[in-house]
Amino acid sequence: MSQSTEYLKVEIDGAIATLTMNRPGKRNAMCDELLDAIDAFFSNPPEGVRAVILTGTEGHYCSGLDLSEHVARNAEGTMRHSRNWHRVMDLIQFSGLPVISAMYGAVIGGGLEMATSTHVRIAEPSTIFQLPEGMRGIFVGGGATVRVGRILGADRMCEMMLTGRKYNAEEGFTLGLTHYSVGEGEAMPLARKLAAKIAKNASLSNYMMINAISRINDMSKADGLFTESLCAAVSQTSEDAEEGLKAFLEKRAPVFR
């Protein structure tokens, strides 16, 4: 099944899907059609896909909302547009598929909001992280106050937005905006390697990690510990857990469903 569109190229290689944002000359700036294509993929991923790589074309990840195509909206329309971004970013984060961002060039505004909805982030030296909305007279609307703010902290994010400050790959690694800082041309090879490794995990374990950990972080200590126990009970009594233990005792790699 092909889900490629004009703006999003989808390539399936076994259990791994590679999604390439494709707006040449626009630094892969986000338009409604690109957002809709991403929404469609994560709403109905191809059968057998167990991990996703998200990247961009022509040396950029995503430069955020395409302001040249900005549609004037009233307050209600702007709120609903923002809430749709929230819905799609939540879908990326919580669909149950592990998502790896292979980043270079612009990871700006909405591009950073999208990157921080993914689970593993890899940055090449050309990567620039920025939230320039303050310089445009607007405010973030795709989830940055929650996702980026929880990585940087409210104080540092506020300074980043007030000043338009840019962080490079190494600074982003130190701050937690990326998990891996790699050399030029190394992001995609590492993304494929990690995706292949993650795809071999039990899908239920991956689902639990993706859906439980960030939510537990929002809970009280007592609620979080109880939820952890529920996740442990479900996963540790599954067929995959039985296979994992059997494979360990037989000194072989497990073969999960």
| Catalytic machinery residues | 113, 133
DSSP state of 238: S
C-alpha to C-alpha distance for 216 and 206, rounded to whole angstroms: 15
Q: Is 12 exposed, middle or buried (0-12, 13-18, 19+ CB in 10 A)?
A: middle
DSSP state of 103: E
Tokens of 80: 């609903």
Instruction: Name the β-bridge partners of 99.
Output: 52
* Residue 252 Cα distances to 15, 219, 235, 257, angstroms: 21, 38, 20, 16
DSSP state of 140: -
115 with 99: CB under 8 angstroms? no
174 with 21: CB under 8 angstroms? no
